[in-house]
Each structure stands twice: as structure tokens, then as C-alpha cells.
Chain A
Amino acid sequence: MKPGMLALGILAALAAGVHPQAAAAADQIVIGDIDDFSGVYADVAGSGAVEAVKMAIEDFGGSVLGRKIVLLSADHQNKPDIGASKFREWADQNGLNVLLGGSNTGVSIAMAKVAAAKQIPFFAIGAGGASLTNEDCTAYSVHYAYDTTALANGTATTIVKNGGKTWFYLTADYAFGTQLQTAASKVVESNGGRNIGAVRVPLGASDFSSFLLQAQGSGAQVLGLANAGTDFSNSLKAANEFGITHKMKPAALLAFLTDIHSLGLQTAQGLYLTTGWYWDLNEQTRSFGKRYFAKMKRMPTMDQSGYYSATLTYLKAVKATGTTDSAKVMAELKKMKINDIFTQNGYIRADGVMIHDMFVMQVKSPKESKYPWDYYRLVKQMPGEEAFGPITGLCPLARK
């Protein structure tokens, strides 16, 4: 078996060469970004988020405490393995100081565990699962931008109050979809509505017609779409096609600006959704949006601007404490007020949720939209405490 040995030998030499001894990085601040760059969430965060982080580093001055800020990014391909391994590797080998990322709840939970083990702050941006600040909370994770509780509180409450009392759910059959449905159901009931039924659809199903037919057969007033990404877009498209949207009001429990952009206003008009941020809210957000647009040729989603804000917030905390010691920085993070283009009066709660105002929007009709990316009409601005709800007590760090 000599040839095998030869091959192995060559490989070994290569491997040794490829892996230089890790730079201690004592003279740098290393920010990591692990997200989905190639899958269903690539447009929601992806490379746009990297751009946003770079903008934040630039705005902050490029360095803090006399150390240069360095950015690493990697694609987790929606696999918890890859996300967690990369995180661990950067922590062990590259002197990582803070990690931003996620989008995918499963991956984010895995990375949160690594954050706890390696004691490195982790900003989960883009993942919806509220469990990140409940059963799965850790002392080092922060949940930015939004979570399933806030979404349900926003969209479901508004629709029930507007007359949509009876609900039927089309739920993506995985943890995130289920959490979303559960959150929405609770809100519907507490507002005097009724949950008639639900159908669990395999993730990534290509055809929703049968499930939609069942929804229609239930006679509910509202079609609750507890799914995201292409599932959401495909199911809404089909609902339109089958004339279901004439009889049932569609409720997008999670939709991003990029989803609406793909669907087009013709299909998406009238949809209610909740978001943590929108580029056309005020002068500040608009100027950020335009700056981002100049680089990326699309308007930023709430995740991407969340990345910008999270980066700034972390750097401000480091500056304030004068150290990168994780425990001290986490303590500062939970004390400080967050005031930037993302939110005016945000703060991080004991369980890690970043409490900030949420916005219930309705998608404009093609006639109402006056310029590119003019997609939303503000229906209601919800104060953070109302949107994210009270502390549930499920997280050991935040007892009731």
C-alpha cells in the first residue's frame, strides 16, 4: 500500500502547511460573522450583512482601544455543524472577540452553546426562535432584531383587532414554524379570537395547493402563514392563484423586504407583517438605506441593519469598559442604551433580548408605491416591552 502512504504523506505535509500557528491577535479586535451566504437566507442577511458590518466599523473609526478591528466571515450553509465548528475554530485559533450571525434558529442555538462554552459574546441576528432567550439562553448570547414572540404580538394582534377572528395556520413543519404558530395562537386567543386549525407542511414543499385547499375548507377568516423564505413566497403565490385570498386574509407571520421584492406588490399587496426596522421610517433610516443601496443595489432588510447596529453596540461597550473581557462587556451591554439608526431607545434585557420598538406594516398596492422599494405602510408602532412581552422566567438568567 505504498501509494496510499505516499498520498497520505503529501496530504499531511499540505495540512501542516495550511495551518499556521494561530496568530494571537492581541493587537486586534476580531469580529466574526457566520451566516447563510448561499441558501434561503442569503439575501436577507448574507453578504449584505457583511457590508453593513464594514460600514459600522468604518463609522466607528476602524479601531478601538488602540487595536485594529478585523472582520472574519464564513458561510454556515444552514448547517449547525459548520456554524458551531467555525465558531469554535475562530475562538481557538483566531482570537475571536465577538460573533454575529445566525439567521437559522437551529444553527444559532448551536452557536449559542459554543458561546457559553468559550465565553465569547454572540449576537444572534436573523434567527427567529424565541427559545434563544428562554430555554436556550446563555450568559453570552444576545438576541437582536426580532423574535417569534414580537412577530406574533405585532401581526396577530393587529389582524384580530381588525376583524380577523378565526385563524387557520399553514405551518412549516420544523421548530421555527411551530414556535411561530404557538406564539400566534396564544395572541389570537388572548385577543378574543379562535384558532380553528392548522396543517403542518414539510419544509421546502414545492406545492401548497392541497394544504391551501384544506385551509379554505376550514372556513377561517385568516390564513396564518407560519413559515418563511421560499415557503412563504410559494404559499402566498398559490393562495392568490386559487382565489383563496379573496375569502381569507393572509397573515405573514415572518416576511422580509426581500421576500416582498421577489413576490412583487401585485401578489403581496394588503399583507400584514411585523418588522423590527424598515429603511423608509425616518431620515436616519433613509440615509442609512441609501448609503447601503449605493454599495449593494438593494435596500437593507432589518437583519442587515441589525448587523450594523449590533457591531456599533458591541464596539461602544468595549470602549466604555476599556477591555474586551467578555464578562465585563456583557455586563456593560445589558446596562447601556442603544441609540442608532436601528432603534432610538433600545436596551438588552437580562435574558438577552434586545428590546426595541417593532413596526406592524401593511404591504402597499402597486398604485400606492411611488418609488422603488416603497413597499410598506406603517400601521402601528409597538413599544418594545409590549412587542417582546414580559420575562417568561424560562431563562435562568432572568427570573420573574
Chain B
Amino acid sequence: MRTTVVFYSLAVLFALCAPFLGIYPVFMMKLLCFAMFACAYNLLLGFSGMLSFGHAAFFGSAAYATAWLVTAHGWGTVPAILAGVLAAAVLGLVIGALAIRRHGIYFAMITLGLAQLVYFVCLEAPFTGGENGLQGVPRGSLFAIVPLKSDITMYYLVLVVFLAVFVFIRRVIHSPFGQILKAIRDNEPRAISLGYEINRYKLVAFVLSATLAGLAGSLKALVLGFVTLSDVLQENSGEVILMTLVGGTGTFIGPAVGAAIIVTLQEYLSDIVGGWVTVIIGAVFVICVLVFRRGIVGELAALRGHRWREPQDVAGVGR
């Protein structure tokens, strides 16, 4: 227990010092946003056992909402973020309510289909700027007091939010609610027989996951200063699945690690190998699925003797 605390403190300390160690703050912020996105996604996949194929819809719609409110209507930073998060939550409620009725691959396909619809709306709606997206989104200031233009200031804000989200997810999973989610994941019929209204739990988990993904999206829009269609593309959904898988579903820090790896790979590898990045990422996917199913963190956990559960029927397809 004590060593865990020590490790966590070291990690946080490192993160706090990172800008001064010469690491490019914008890169770190992008990494943190995607780590947040992956952690939010894992809430759904790893802990609730639902594979969604369209999570980019929440990430992207919140990003668009925030960016639009800031650029077209001059909203303040914090209200805009909150609005973006709210948008993602509402969208999560709608899509979740439609998708929850089905299991496994059907659930995944519904989320995929509905995410495509969201993409279509983002493409056609007049205020989203279509293919060009929304550009030149200013960061504004925190509560109208602290200006966020400086990369370093913004970095600390994003870091704080990430830590808060991380701690929040941990609390949720360790709570009775989280226990029930895990029970539903592991053995749904049993959970039903115990009298739980599983659909309601699943929906709450879905909305939570969507909301946090939206938070990641809103922040990303402010960090980088723009939102484009790639934020709601199918590819983005695929990437977050990859991040979670590579890091380790069912672990807490796994998705963050996975996000760090994938974002770093994309950033630096494309300089070196150009178009082969896609092939490499595909190969990473394949290798992970074949031999690294527990993900990096999962594998390390197994090495240290922690118990690991093979997700028996995560997608619920079941033969």
C-alpha cells in the first residue's frame, strides 16, 4: 500500500516538473487529453464490459460544442467546457438508451452506426465548418482570472483535470456502484437474478463514460485551438480502443499508458517512417491481441503475481 502511494507521488511529481525537464508542453497536454479519453472509455469497456465503437462521437461533439461557443458566441472558458461536457452527456444518454437494449456485437454496431450519424451532422451542420472544422479557438482564461494562453499554465490546468478524472474513476469503480458494474460484466444473468436493474446501471456507466470522454474532447479543443472532423471520425474510435487494449483493459493506469504509447508513436514515428505508421500501429494491434491481451500494465501486473481475469465474454457475442 505504501509503495503504491510512493509510486503515485513520484508520477505526479514527475508530471508537475515535466515542462521544466524539456518536454514539449503541448505534446504532454495532447497526451493527457487522450489518456483521459482512454480512461473514460475503459470505464465502459474494461469495467462494464461493453465494447463501444463510436466513442469518438462524444469526444468530438463536446469539442465542437465548446469550440463553437467560444468562437461564435464569446463564451468564457469554463462555461464553454461545462457546456461541451453537458452536450456529450446528453448525446451519451440518447445513444446509450438506444444501444443498451442489445448486447455484444449488436451493441457495438449500434454505437458505430449512431456515431456515423453524429459524424454526418458534424459534416453538414452550418456551424461546424464542415471539412475545415472550427479554427482559431482561443483558450481564454480560467474563471476569467487566470489567462490560459501560456502553454505552461494550460498544462497545469489539464494535468489537474486529468488527475481529478482519474481519481474520480477510481472512486466510482471502488464504490458499490462499481462493484455492481463489474458483477454485470462478469455474469449478467446472475446479476439480474439478484434483482439489479442492470439496464439502468449500464446506462449510467455509459453516460459517465461519454461525459468524461466529452471533457477530454473539450479540453483538447482548447489546448490545440481547433476542432475538425477527425475528432469524430471512426478512426478516432478505433484508436481509443487500441490505446485501452495496449495499456490493459480492466486496469486503472493501463489506458493512460496505452494512450501515451500510441500518441508518442504517432507523433515521432511518422517523422521517421512516414506512411508506415499505419502498418506499425496495425501490427501493434495484432501482436497485442495475440500475445499481450492483458495489455502492458496487465502483463506487468501478472508478472508481479496479481490476479488477472480473462474477460470471458466482454463483447457478449458468446458462442
Contact = CB atoms under 8 A, between A and B. Distances in A.
| Same complex | yes
Interface of A: 1-9, 11-12, 15-16, 18-21, 37-38, 42, 74-75, 77, 79-82, 84-85, 88-89, 92-93, 105-106, 109-110, 113, 129, 136, 173-176, 203
Interface string B263-284: 0100010110011001000000
Contact of B256 (A8, A37, A109): A8
Contact of A2 (B27, B231, B304): B304
Nearest to B129: A175
Interface size class of B (residues with CB under 8 A): 35 or more
Residue among A1, A3, A21 with most chain B CB within 10 A: A3
Interface of B: 3-4, 7-8, 10-11, 14, 18, 21-24, 26-27, 30, 123-124, 129-133, 135-136, 224-226, 228, 230-231, 251-254, 256-257, 260-261, 264, 268, 270-271, 274-275, 278, 296-297, 300-301, 303-304, 306
A105 B132 contact: yes
Given A4-B254, A5-B4, A174-B131, A75 B270 contact: yes
17 contacts: A2-B304, A4-B300, A5-B8, A5-B11, A8-B253, A15-B260, A18-B268, A37-B275, A74-B270, A75-B275, A79-B228, A85-B26, A85-B30, A85-B224, A89-B27, A92-B26, A175-B130
A4 B251 contact: yes
Contact of A80 (B24, B135, B300): B135
A80 B253 contact: no
A106 B133 contact: yes
A16 B23 contact: yes
B270 A176 contact: no
Given A15-B264, A89-B27, A3 B271 contact: no
Contacts of A21: 22
Contacts of B124: 173
Contacts of B130: 174-175
A365 to B, nearest CB: 35
A1 B135 contact: no
A155 B230 CA distance: 32
Given A7-B300, A16-B22, A110-B226, 13 more contacts: A7-B253, A9-B7, A11-B257, A12-B18, A19-B22, A19-B23, A38-B275, A80-B132, A81-B224, A81-B230, A110-B135, A110-B228, A174-B131
A80 B23 contact: no
Nearest to B254: A4
B261 A11 contact: yes
B23 A37 contact: no
Nearest to A77: B270
Contacts of B133: 80, 106, 110
Contacts of B21: 16
Contacts of B306: 3
B131 A105 contact: yes
Contacts of A19: 22-24, 27
A79 B10 CA distance: 35
A3 B224 contact: no
Nearest to B298: A3
Contacts of B226: 80-81, 84, 110, 113
Nearest to B299: A3
A179 to B, nearest CB: 10
A135 to B, nearest CB: 11
B171 to A, nearest CB: 14
A5 B304 contact: no
**Best-surrounded residue of B132, B257, B261, B271 (most CB of chain A within 10 A):** B132
Contacts of A7: 253, 257, 296-297, 300
